[in-house]
């Protein structure tokens, strides 16, 4: 219970000093006041290759063999209490950098063991006028697919701005970002407290291949292999 909460933010913008970076630096400062550490992993500063044409990831259970920094990002995400997926709008969609990253880590790494299960997730989007919702949904689906605990409070953390630093003047957007960060911290502390008091995981995790169904009484049960034929 004495270890500090630690999050990692994945900055999917090609601009290392753009609006995305400014909002994340504000988040880092804000979380520090709550004794929470935020590491920022800016994809633009690292080598992230797109998925190749091999197509092997869907047929084997080993991590992607491409030699880049995707595995480094995975290590930071796995070692954290939660992840903030942050991306700028690029051509009315996610940046090519973020799209490549989500595909690489999702197919090449995370799908094998779902190592982000029950980690807290937040999603933030910056951009001028259009495309925010589409980008938000892409990252949201990545978090849900990896069985993370997605938190928010009110409207999504969508920040409007064009020139560098303008998003910090979007009062409503910044308020939604602040609320999201507060909820992430509250959820992490709640999970930690429960697990400390009970010695059990806060949320049930199904083993690979298991799935829930409802019986005739409306109660959940895990079917046997015989039931699943």
| Region 197-213 average pLDDT | 68
Is residue 7 within 8 A of residue 77, CB to CB? The reply is no
pLDDT for 114 equals: 82
Q: Are 23 and 54 in contact (CB under 8 A)?
A: no
> How far apart (Å, rounded) are the C-alpha atoms in residues 208 and 102?
22
**What digits encode the pLDDT tens for the residues 58-84?**
676 777 677 888 889 989 999 999 999
In this prediction, residue 187 has a pLDDT band, given cuts at 50, 70 and 90, of very high
- Segments making up each domain of the chain, as ranges: 5-203
Pick the CATH number of 5-203 from 3.40.50.360, 3.40.50.300, 3.10.620.30, 3.30.465.10: 3.40.50.360
Predicted model pTM: 0.86
């Amino acid at each position: 219970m004495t270890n500090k909460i630690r999050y990692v933010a994945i900055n999917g913008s090609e601009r290392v000093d753009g609006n995305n970076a400014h909002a994340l630096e504000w988040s880092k400062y804000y979380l520090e006041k709550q004794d929470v550490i935020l590491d920022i992993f800016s994809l633009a500063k690292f080598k992230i290759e797109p998925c190749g044409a091999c197509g092997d990831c869907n047929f084997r259970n080993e991590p992607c063999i491409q030699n880049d920094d995707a595995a480094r990002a995975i290590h930071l995400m796995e070692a954290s209490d939660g992840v903030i997926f942050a991306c700028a709008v690029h051509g009315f969609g996610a940046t090519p950098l973020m799209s490549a990253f989500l595909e690489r880590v999702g197919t090449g790494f995370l799908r094998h063991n779902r190592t982000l299960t029950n980690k807290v997730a937040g999603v933030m989007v910056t951009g001028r006028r259009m495309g925010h919702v589409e980008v938000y949904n892409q990252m949201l689906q990545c978090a849900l697919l990896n069985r993370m605990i997605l938190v928010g409070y009110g409207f999504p953390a969508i920040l409007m701005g064009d020139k560098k630093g303008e998003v910090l003047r979007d009062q409503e957007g910044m308020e939604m970002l602040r609320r999201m960060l507060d909820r992430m911290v509250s959820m992490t502390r709640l999970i930690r407290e429960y697990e400390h008091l009970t010695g059990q995981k806060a949320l049930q995790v199904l083993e690979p291949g298991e799935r829930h169904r409802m019986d005739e009484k409306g109660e959940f049960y895990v079917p046997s292999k015989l039931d699943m034929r």
